[in-house]
Amino acid sequence: MFRPVPCEWQMPLWVATVFLLSSTATKVAPSAGPDVTVADARSPKASWDCEGDVVALCLSHDDRFLVASVDVRDVAVWDLEAGSGRPMLRFRSTVRPPIDVDFASDRNILCVFGNPMWFLRTGECRDLKGRLVHEFLAFRESRFLGGACWSQDGRSVVAVCSRTSSLLKWTLRQPEFLFRRRFAHARINNVVYAPNTKNDRVFVTGMPLFEYQFSTDAVRKFQMAVGNEVHILDSGFPSVDCRGRFLAALVFVGPHGPRPRGTLPREPCTPTKPAVAIWSTGSGQLIRLIHLHHAFEGTVRISPDGILVAVGDQKGELRLFRRSDGACLGQWKAHGARVTAILFRRKPATLISGAEDAKIRFWNIDREIQLAKDAVP
């Protein structure tokens, strides 16, 4: 998880209060429509006990199998068509620790990804019987904060090493990485493949957020500022819809842009505020900025059809926003601890959440989907 840009000194409480009260609203597509401000009482369709804190979640391409990384070693797999809360497979990964899990799109191969630390193995591929079929190797000093992402054809995996600001790519042909690209003037933390680009483009989050094309080695930066009022200082948790039209990410914004290294701050302290930013991937323009409460710490996910954005926070609350105007369509208490993972299941329409209370829960979101479809895109 990425963190906000640190301050040089602690700002007094009364200064922070004056700043928050006097700050103006962002002029990027302001929210409109009905807004839910009070959490509603909602019961989950199902609640499963994982016997450990949930670190990451993923669904297979056909939405049949659910995989969770539990605590720091175990990986559990469920068959959702069976409807049982008991996993069909549970194994201990050799990756330390397993921070991310992901399915190959056209085959039921699971990739468990972590940090090599004292081991060279940073990722492993297993089938649905738990058998090891492939491994990925990296340098011991590598640090992967955001995990890895499969290509659409299920033949390659990409990941970002935050320590060296490098983008790495592996294939199923060999365990060593096939490609490495270092971005010397960027702080990067996560990556996701751009759909429908023949596995040639990825979106990389951090500072700045940009699109990278493998075939031409081209970098296209996304909009990171709104006039002179709002500047995005960091970004993470990227999520893209299935058609690749919209990219959502958790960001931290401030009144001034990031200062060059080795220079003094423009003001004694630059407070940062969390928000969900949504970009148009075609133009790279920032089209929506949804501000969150000041102490937010959680995760973000955009729905496959791109009409909803789900947010889970450290208090265990879930919120659903309409992408077209930023209106909050639903807010409820989902867990007793920080929400660490969110997934959308298309059929039936379900929101799946995992948290540090060792629970995976399934939520009916038919009402929010209908409200989002009724709005003008």
pLDDT tens string 61-101: 888 999 999 887 789 999 999 888 899 999 988 887 767 88
Identify whether 265 is preceded by a cis peptide bond (ω within 30 of 0): no
Which strand ranges, in their side-by-side order, compose the sheet holding 98-103? 98-103, 110-114, 121-126, 132-137
Q: What is the mean pLDDT of residues 289-316?
A: 90
Owner of token pair 């059929």: 347
- What's the half-sphere exposure (Cβ side, CA atoms, 13 Å) at 99? 17
Highest mean pLDDT among 107-111, 243-247, 373-377: 243-247
Q: Which of the two residues, 42 and 304, has the higher pLDDT score?
A: 304
The C-alpha angle 63, 303, 367, rounded to 5 degrees, equals 95
- Asked if residue 286 has pLDDT above 90, the reply is yes
Torsion on CA atoms 318, 54, 123, 167, rounded to nearest 10: 30
Mean pLDDT of 45-49: 93
**For residue 20, what are its two tokens?**
């928050």
Contact 93, 114 (CB under 8 A): yes
Q: Percent of the chain scored above 90 by pLDDT?
A: 49
- DSSP-assigned letters across all residues of 271-318: --EEEEEEEETTT--EEEEEE--TT---EEEE-TTSSEEEEE-TTSEE
Percent of the chain with pLDDT over 70: 82
Tell me the pLDDT band of 310, cut-offs 50, 70 and 90.
very high
Cα separation of the two ends of the chain: 31
Distance of alpha carbon 124 from alpha carbon 272, whole angstroms? 37
Per-residue pLDDT at 20: 33
- When the pLDDT of each residue in the chain is averaged and rounded to a whole number, the result is 82
- Which residue segments constitute the domains of the chain, with CATH numbers given? 27-374 (2.130.10.10)
